Amino acid sequence: MTDQLRSTQAQYQGFCNTHLLWNGKLNTIEQLRLDDCKDHTFLRQLSRTHRLGQLAEQFLFNQIETCVHSELLAENLQIQNNKNTIGELDALLLHKGMPIHLEIIYKFYLYDEHLGDSEISRWIGPNRKDSLTEKLDKLLKQQLPLLHTSECKQTLKLLHLDHYDYKQFVHFKAQLFVPFEKDVSFKKLNKSSVCGIYINRRQLEKFKTFRFFIPEKLDWFLEPSTDVNWMDFDTFKIDAYQYLTTKRSPMIWLRDESTLQKAFLVWW
pLDDT in tens, 225-240: 999 999 999 999 999 9
Q: Phi/psi of residue 195, each to 5°?
A: -115, -10
pLDDT in tens, 70-121: 999 999 999 999 889 999 999 999 999 999 999 999 999 999 999 988 999 9
Closest by alpha carbon to 137, among 28, 23, 55? 28
84-95 and 70-81: which strand pairing? antiparallel
> What are the domain boundaries of the chain?
3-194, 197-266
Q: Are 121 and 88 in contact (CB under 8 A)?
A: no
pLDDT exceeds 70 at position 1:
no
Adjacent-strand bridge partners of 17? none
Residue 105 φ/ψ region, left for φ over 0, alpha for ψ in the -120 to 50 degree band, beta for the rest: beta
Q: What is the pTM of this model?
A: 0.95
pLDDT in tens, 149-207: 999 999 999 999 999 999 999 999 999 999 999 999 999 999 999 999 999 999 999 99
Maximum Cα–Cα distance across the chain: 62
Q: Phi/psi of residue 133, each to 5°?
A: -60, -45
Per-chain mean pLDDT for the chain = 95
pLDDT for position 37:
72
Can you tell me the distance from the alpha carbon of 60 to that of 56, in angstroms, rounded to the nearest whole number?
A: 6
pLDDT in tens, 18-63: 999 999 999 999 999 987 776 789 999 998 889 999 999 999 999 9
